[in-house]
Amino acid sequence: MSDDSRRLKPVDVVVVGGGWAGSIMAKEMTEAGRTVVMLERGPDRSTAGEGAYPASIDELEGNFRYKLFQDLSKNTVTIRNNASQTALPYRRMAAFLPGEGVGGAGLHWSGVHFRMPPDDLRLRSRVIEKYGAKFIPEGMNLQDYGVTYEELEPFFDKAEKVFGTSGEAYKVNGQVVGQGNVFAPSRSDHFPLPPLKDVYTAHLFRKAAEEVGFHPYSLPAANASQQYTNPYGVQMGPCNFCGYCSGYACYMYSKASPNVNILPVLRRHPLFELRANCHVLRVERDSTGTRATGVTYTDADGKVVTQPAEMVILTAFQFHNVRLMLLSGIGKPYDPVRNEGVVGRNFVYQNVTTSVVWLDPKVETNQYIGAGGGGVAFDDFNSENFDHGPLGFVGGSPVWVNQAGVKAIAAAHSGGPPGTPRWGSAWKAGMIDTYRHSLRIDAHGANMAYRDVYLDLDPTWKDAYGQPLLRMTFDWKDNDIRMNRYVVDKIGNVAKAMGARNVHLTRREFGKPFDTRQYQTTHLGGGAVMGTDPQTSALNRYMQSWDVHNVFVIGANAFPQGTGYNPTGMVAALAYWAAHHIRTTYLAHPGPLAG
Amino acid sequence: MRGVWKSGLRSLVVALLVASVPGVGQSARAQDAPAPADLVTRGEYVAEAADCGACHTVPGGAPFAGGMAFHLPTGTLYAPNITPDVKAGIGQYSEAEFIRAIRQGIRRDGATLYPAMPYPSYARMTDDDLHALYAYFMHGVRPVSTPVVQDGMHWPLSMRWPLTVWRRLFAPDPAVTLQGATARTFPDPVVARGAYLVEGPGHCGACHTPRAVTMQEKALTAEDGPLYLSGGASVDGWRPVSLRGENRTGLGRWSEQDIVRFLATGRMPLGAAFGGMTDAINHGTQHMTADDQLAIARYLKTLSPTTPAKAPGWAYDPAATTALRAGDVSARGARHYVDSCAACHRTDGRGYPTTFPPLAGNPVVMDPTPDSLIRIVLEGNTLRATRQAPSAFVMPGFAARMDDAAVADTVSFIRAAWGNDAPAVNAADVARIRRSLSPEHPPVSLPMN
C-alpha cells in the first residue's frame, strides 16, 4: 500500500465494477445485512440521463462515438496474434466494445439472455465420453466448469425473473409445454414473459428452417415483451422494436439493465454506497498474502484511496478482472511455455460470422426495426446437439436471425454485396437494395481454449495510472475454423428455402489471422476460469480465488472455454450461484469453500 | 389602483396554489402518555400527513431548512426555515405560538403569514396532532442555521397588513372549526378519519377546491357543499382535477383500492401522478399507513359529483384505434400522436398501465381545462419512485420539437379519441402555457434508473 493513500472507514464488502455481476452481488450482500461499497471507474448513468428521448437515439453518438463505452485513452489492452509478435495497443474501438460507467456492459448490451447448455458446462467430460480423449486436438485446453446445469438451474431461473426475460419454454419440470428450443434442458418454470413477436425476417427464417428440417425457436430476450414488475418491485416498459438497444440506454425501460432492474432498489438501501469515477488499482493483501484487506483506487479527484473490506468481489468486465488479479498478485500467472499457472489461461473469444441473404425486390425486410435480444434461432449444430465424430472438430454454433435494428450509418457502412463499388451510384444502388431487401444470418459459434492463446501483462505499455496494460495473445485455430465452415454451409440450405435471390455466405478462412479492425463481438471470456483443479483454474466452482479466500471473481472470465451462446445469462446465474454459497456458508465460516 | 390590486390578487392566488400541495395523514390514535420518543415519531408522521416537506424542504437540501422559491409575477416568495434553529428557524416558538401559527397563520411576532401556508385547513388539526408535531419539530428535526431568505415580494404584497385583513375575513376560527368537526357524524369511523386527514392536515382543498375572487377556498369541508374538492384553478399549467365522483373528470371510475394504490405509489391502472401531486405523494401520502390511505380513499368516494352528469359515463370507443391501425391519420393531430405519443401510450390509447398511463378515459385528459395535458406534452413529466414502487419513469418534453399548433393538434386528438369527449384546444392555449413554464426545468435531479 502506498504511504500517501488515505484509508477509509472499513466496510464488509467492496464490489469492483457496477455492471450486472456487481449489482447482483451488491444486492445479495445487502440482503445478507452486509455493508457494501461499489466502485465503478466510469460515470454514474441512468435511463433518465443517457436514455432521454429523442437525444438518446443518436446512432452517431451511440455506436460511432461510443458514448457508453470504455475510454481507451486511459486504459486499453495490447493485442498480438502470437508470441512471436510485439503487441500494440487497441486504440480505436472495433473488434470488441467494452463498456464503462454504472450499468457497465449491462447498459449497452442487446439483451440476448441464454442459459448455458448442460453439455457445455462439462464439455471435456462429454467429448471424452462420446469420442474418446484422443479426439481433443493437440494444444486445446478443454475443461469442465465444475458446476452442473442442475445446480445452476435455480439461479438461471432467478436471473430470468429479475431481468424480465421473454421467451418460450420447451420443457418445464420434464414436461413438454411449448414451442421452445427442443435442445434446451428442462426448466423449473416458464419464462417470466412470453416471447417477443417475430420481426418479418425472423418469421421467414423460422419457416425456412422448419422446411429444411431444423428446429427453430424464439431467442430468449431480456427485452420485455410486456410491461413487467420483477421480484425486486422494479418495473419495465414493453419493447416497441425501435431497435436502439445495443449501444444505447433503452428509453422504453424495456431492455433489462442493472440500472433499471436492480439499482433502483439498491440505491435506496441504507447499507449500500455507490462511488462512481473510482478506478481500482489493486486488491490489497495482508502479510501472508492469503487474505485480502481491501482495495486501493484513484477517486474522482485523482486521489489514491484505500478502502478496507472484509471481502473483495471483482465484478469488472472479463479482461479487467483478469488484469486486476495479475496486478494484485492473486493466483499464479499463466506461463504458456510450460502450460502452467492459471491467471491469463484459457482466454477465449466467440466465433461469429454473419452471412447475408437477398430476397426478391418485392420483399421489404424493414431492417430498421428490431429488438436486441429478439429473433429466431436453431440449435441443431450447437453444443453436443449433433454428432461431431465424423466431423473432427470440437464445439458448435447456434444459427439465428437476430435483427436488432440496422440503422442508417451502419447500413451505409455495410454497403452492397461483395464486389459492389465503395462509392458512386452503383454503391448507392447496392446499399439501398441491401438495406431494403436483405437479411442477416449469424453463425454464433464457440471458440475453444488453446495453450498459446492467453492474457498477461504487457512488458512495454502502461495505462494513464502507470500500470501495465493487459496483453492479449489471440488467433483463430483450425478446429474453430472447420466448425464455422461446417455450420455456415447449413445457412446456405436455409437461404435457398427462403427463396434467396443472392446469398453471401461468410466463412472463416484458414490462415486468415484475427483482425482487430472488424467488429466481431464483445463476448470475451476466460482468463481466470472456474473449475475443480487449482492447477487448471484460478477460481473454484464457487467463483472464489483458490489462493485468497475472501476474493470472489464474477464474470465471463470464469468460462473455461467459449460457448455458442451470449454470456450474460450465464454470468448472472454464476453471480447468484456464488452469492448463494457466500450467504449460506461463507459468511458464517469464512474460508475456502472447496478444498 | 384596481389594476394593481388585481395583479396583486392574482399573484396571491398563485402563491396560495403553488405553495399548498396536498398531502395527508396522522399517526395512530394517541396513546395514554406517550414517551417523548414516541411523541417525536408520531409528530414526524403528522408532518408527513401535513406534507410540510413539500414546501419547506428544497430537493437535496436539509429537511425543513426552507428556501423553496415560488416565482410570482410580483416577486418571489420563499418558504421559511422551520427547523428548531433559534435564529434562523422556529427555535424560539413556544408550543402555543407554534400552534397559533399553524392553525391561524399568525407569526410569532404577530404578523400574518402568506396564505401559501394552508392554515385554513390546518385550523382543524387536533391538539394531539399539533402537540406531537411541535415535539417533532423541536426534537426530531436537526437545526439548520441557514438564514431566512427575505421575501422578495413587491408592494403591495410586500405589506403584511392586507393579509391580516384577509385572514380575519376568510380563515376559520379554530375553536369553531374543531367544534364543528366534533359535531359531524359519519357513516363509519374510517370515513371520519378520512375526512379529518383530507380536510385537515392533508389540506387537499388548497389545490383541489376552487377559490373565490378574493382567493379563499369556496368550501373547506364536504359539508360546505359540492364545490369542495371539485377541482382548482391552474397553477403554472397544472390543473388540479376534481376529487369528487364525476364519471369522466373526477374519481367516479376509481375504486377505493385504485386511490390507495395511487397514494402509495403515484401510479394505478387508470393514471399516474404529475405536477404538485408528485410532491404530495413523495413527502406525504406514500409514508402514510395503509389504514390512513384507505380512510382517505373511502372518504373521497363519499363525495358526490358536483353537477349531475350531462353525458353518459365514459365508455371505450375503438373508432380512433381502428383508424390509426389502418394507417388513417386524417383526424386532426393523429399524425403527431402516432409519431410522438403512440410508442408508449399506444394507438389504442390504453398505454401500458402502470408503467405508461392510459390516455383513454383518463380524467386529466377530459378535464374541461386542458392546461395539465398541454404542460405535460410541452415539458414532459417524471413519475418519481416511491417506497413501494422503486422505479421512476420519465416522459420527455416536446416543447423543443413541436410548435404551438402541433401541440394543440396533438392534445385535441387525445381529448377526442377513444370515447374521450373534451373540447379541442387552440394554439393560443398552448402559447399561454408555454409562457408560464419555469426556466428551471427540466428538474435538477433526474431519477437514477
The domain ranges of chain B are: 2-300, 319-436
Fold exhibited by the domain B319-436: Cytochrome Bc1 Complex; Chain D, domain 2 (1.10.760)
**Local confidence pLDDT in tens for the 595 residues of chain A:** 444 457 899 999 999 999 999 999 999 999 999 999 999 999 999 998 888 888 899 999 999 999 999 999 999 999 999 999 999 999 999 999 999 999 999 999 999 999 999 999 999 999 999 999 999 999 999 999 999 999 999 999 999 999 999 999 999 999 999 999 999 999 999 999 999 999 999 999 999 999 999 999 999 999 999 999 999 999 999 999 999 999 999 999 999 999 999 999 999 999 999 999 999 999 999 999 999 999 999 999 999 999 999 999 999 999 999 999 999 999 999 999 999 999 999 999 999 999 999 999 999 999 999 999 999 999 999 999 999 999 999 999 999 999 999 999 999 999 999 999 999 999 999 999 999 999 999 999 999 999 999 999 999 999 999 999 999 999 999 999 999 999 999 999 999 999 999 999 999 999 999 999 999 999 999 999 999 999 999 999 999 999 999 999 999 999 999 999 999 999 999 999 999 999 999 999 999 999 7
- Cβ-Cβ pairs closer than 8 A, A with B, add up to 73
Q: Which of A193, A253, A262 to mutate to test the interface with B (most CBs of B within 10 A)?
A: A253
Question: A593 in a domain, yes or no?
Answer: no
Among A53, A227, A251, beta carbon nearest to B355: A227
A388 is catalytic: no
Q: Quickly list DSSP for A6-54.
A: EEPPPEEEEEE--SHHHHHHHHHHHHTT--EEEE-SS----HHHHT-TT
- A25 CB within 8 Å of a chain B CB: no
pLDDT tens track for B362-410: 999 999 999 999 999 999 999 999 999 999 999 999 999 999 999 999 9
Domain membership of residue A591 (yes or no) is no
What would the grid cell of residue B97 be? 405560538
Q: Cis bond leading into A590, ω under 30°? A: no
> What are the Cα distances from residue B440, in Å, to A164, A408, B98?
36, 35, 33
Residue A594 lies in a domain: no
Beta strands in B166-320 (DSSP E): 267-268, 271-272
| Distance from C-alpha of A203 to C-alpha of A220, rounded to nearest angstrom | 15
Distance from CA of B200 to the nearest CA of A (A): 31
Residue B91 CA to residue B113 CA, distance in Å, equals 17
Q: Give A283 to chain B, closest Cα distance, Å.
A: 29
From chain A residues 152-171, the ones with a CB under 8 A of any chain B CB are none
CATH number of the domain bearing residue A253: 3.50.50.60
| A172/chain B closest Cα distance in angstroms | 29
Per-residue pLDDT, B6: 36
Residue of A nearest to B388 (CA): A233
Q: Which of A320, A444, A523, A549 is catalytic?
A: A523
Residues of A in contact with B388 (CB under 8 A): 233
Reading the block at residue A89, the C-alpha cell is 495497443
CB contact set of A509 (below 8 Å; sequence gap of 6+): A481
Q: What is the Cα Rg of chain B in Å? A: 22
Cα dihedral B10/B15/B17/B23 (nearest 10): -170
pTM exceeds 0.95: no
Does the beta-carbon distance from A235 to B393 stay under 8 Å?
yes
Tell me the chain A residues in contact with residue B355 when contact means C-beta distances shorter than 8 Å.
Answer: 227, 235-238, 253
Which of chain B's residues have a Cβ under 8 Å away from the Cβ of A52?
Answer: 394, 396
Q: Is residue A1 part of a domain?
A: no
Could you tell me if A421 lies within 8 Å of chain B, comparing CB atoms? no
The reply to whether A260 touches chain B by the CB within 8 Å rule is yes
Q: Return d(Cα B358, Cα B336) in angstroms, integer.
A: 17
A48 contacts on B by Cβ (under 8 Å): 382, 392, 394, 446-449
Domain that holds residue A565: 6-586
CA-nearest residue to A226 within chain B is B352
Q: Yes or no: say if B73 and B132 are a contact pair by the CB < 8 Å rule.
A: no
Domain count, chain A: 1
